[in-house]
Each structure stands twice: as structure tokens, then as C-alpha cells.
Copies of this chain bind each other. A is one copy, B any other.
């Protein structure tokens, strides 16, 4: 039916055309793939992942988030914008502060699911993960008060 002139667009001859067609018929399509890729891209940066993990624990304002992860204010804000644009986080103002939180549980589940996979592959290296008490240059007990 369709075109047919452009059979070998990709110059690759199919070994099993039936299988090829079967797969194509079930594929979701470029559009959704691109949208999904954007979401995974947002999670493809370790810094942003840590932000997501922190926000999964509790709502945080930008400065506390920066402090907790040892990031610059600017960098934190840029990352938050990325997450915001994809509606992965939501925010609310409280005076001059802006509190961020995960927008829904989907991302949290994605994160959890991924972590589960990682844990299986890093049996021992995971041990070194949860460091003592500080992860960056945080106020340790009496830093700021």
C-alpha cells in the first residue's frame, strides 16, 4: 500500500521482514519516545538525581537544597528549572523563599526503580554510599543557627 519506493531507506536488508513488521506495529512511536527521552535526560545527571532524591525525602527551599547537596545557588536554580519545565517538581512561594517538591509519585517511583537496579549491580560498593553525616560542606550540628 503505502510508499514502497523507499523500501531500503536505511540500506539495511531485513532478515525477517515479518518480525520487523510485527515489531513496528506495536511500537509506541517517535513522539512518545522523544517525550520520554526528555524525562530520562532530566534524570541522567547525578546532581539532578540527588536533587530529586532530596526532594523525595521532603520539601526544601532552594538554599537548603543547595546547602544539603553542596551546590551553588545558581547551579541549583538552573537544575530546578530543568525539572520544573518537565513538570517533575512543583514549587510554592513562602515569602522570599521558594519551596520545591516532587510533582507526583511517578518520578519517585522511577528513581526508586532505578536505584533498585543499581543496588543489584553494586553489592559492595553500595556500602560506601551513605557517608557519615555530611555529604558536602554542610553545617555540622552547629554550623548556622
Number of interface residues of A (CB under 8 A): 98
Kindly provide the distance from the CB of A27 to the nearest chain B CB, expressed in whole angstroms: 6
Q: Name A residues whose Cβ lies closer than 8 Å to a Cβ of B.
A: 1-4, 6-17, 19-41, 43-47, 49-50, 53-54, 57-58, 60-61, 63-64, 66-68, 70-73, 87, 97, 104, 106-107, 109-111, 113-122, 125-126, 128-141, 143-145
Query: What's the number of copies of this chain in the assembled complex?
Result: 2
In the complex formed, the residue of B with least CB distance to A10 is: B70
Contact B58 A19 (CB under 8 A): yes
- Contact A9:B136 (CB < 8 A) given known A129-B28, A143-B17: yes
With A34-B46, A50-B30 as contacts: A67 and B12 at CB distance below 8 Å: yes
